[in-house]
Amino acid sequence: MAEVLRLMFIGDVMGQPGQMMFAKWVPRLKEKHKIDAIIVNGENAAKNGKGLKLKDIEFLKQNGADVITSGNHIWYNNEIYSYLNEKTDLLRPENYPSDCPGKGYTLIQVKNYEVAIVNIQGRSFLRDQLSCPFKTTQSLLTFLETRTKFVFVDFHAEATAEKQAFAFFMDGKVTGVFGTHTHVQTADERILPNGTCYITDLGFCGALNSIIGMEKDSVIQKFLTQMPFRFKVEKNSPFILSGIWVEVCVSTAKPLKIVRINVIDEEFPGAIG
């Protein structure tokens, strides 16, 4: 049988509920599906859901994360800025200005192969004024292609159309494009015509009965009144963990399968204060 690589990508980890699901389920899924590398979006892993701190990076790594990607929430805690500059396992979107700490790609060793992980952010309905994600990735690929034929992109974006456009733009040029940021998993995982595997959004890890991970009432009040409200991470609900795993043929560098992960865990409600 041809040699394969298996990688698992987990959607945005949201606060303590997300971390608990990651710690409980990622090791089990890794063993069950014989996963070789784990990539997780950690932009909401802090206890309050805003960015992540050094202890959150450590927690995700201790529980199996090889690379932590991020997005627009990466900048909340400046204690991680020097980590972003010094280490290669925490990414910020590549298309932020080059003066920002960190970078948006890394090369990791998976079995005997180098694999590139790229983090890029969309521009539609997001506030940050970033370089074109399409052209930024295109020029980054001219470098990455000299190092590896395995390239996976976390495309952190709001708009479905921008994610689909990016995926078709990249179809055949990278191994996989996986959306993050909306915190709701889409059911459109598939291999595109030229061989790139794709899902519009991986989903998230956190409280199921929430509004993208936050307590419902304050979010509803914000929509009703248009006034600012302080949102708190929801904890009193079953928890969910979402993502995908992919299998890639080593000799062709093409994905053979993309499988959705969607675990709902009823054990957790009330388990944390």
- Pick from 11, 15, 17, 71: which binds Fe ion (CB under 5 A)? 71
- Asked if 140 contacts 100 with a C-beta cutoff of 8 angstroms, the reply is no
Nearer to Fe ion (CB atom), residue 72 or residue 175: 72
Assess 94 for contact with Fe ion (CB under 5 A). no
Nearer to Fe ion (CB atom), residue 49 or residue 64: 49
Alpha carbon distance 71, 49 (integer Å): 13
Nearest to 202 by CA among 11, 37, 25, 13: 11
- Pick from 103, 163, 181, 235: which binds Fe ion (CB under 5 A)? 181
Nearest to 8 by CA among 47, 44, 39: 39
Provide, rounded to whole angstroms, the least separation between the CB of residue 114 and Fe ion: 28
Report CA Rg, the chain: 18
Nearer to Fe ion (CB atom), residue 41 or residue 248: 41
Catalytic residue status for 73: yes
Provide, rounded to whole angstroms, the least separation between the CB of residue 201 and Fe ion: 10
Nearer to Fe ion (CB atom), residue 15 or residue 71: 71
- Pick from 44, 95, 200, 242: which binds Fe ion (CB under 5 A)? 44
Number of residues forming the site for Fe ion (CB under 5 A): 6
Region from 43-51, 113-121, 146-154, 246-254 binding Fe ion, contact rule CB under 5 A: 43-51
Nearest to 71 by CA among 172, 161, 147, 183: 183
Alpha helices in the chain (DSSP H): 15-33, 54-62, 81-86, 133-144, 160-170, 216-225
Provide, rounded to whole angstroms, the least separation between the CB of residue 166 and Fe ion: 15
Region from 20-28, 96-104, 115-123, 177-185 binding Fe ion, contact rule CB under 5 A: 177-185
Region from 35-43, 110-118, 146-154, 249-257 binding Fe ion, contact rule CB under 5 A: 35-43
String of contacts with Fe ion for each residue 124-163, x by CB under 5 A: ----------------------------------------
- How would DSSP label each residue in 162-197? HHHHHHHHHBTTBSEEEEESS-S--S--EE-TTS-E
Select which of 33, 73, 156, 181 is catalytic: 73
Give, as one character, the DSSP assignment of residue 79.
Answer: G
Tokens of 187: 């059911």
69 phi and psi, to 5 degrees?
-95, 175
- Asked if 154 contacts 118 with a C-beta cutoff of 8 angstroms, the reply is yes
Active site amino acids: 73
Positions in the binding site for Fe ion (CB under 5 A): 12, 43-44, 71-72, 181
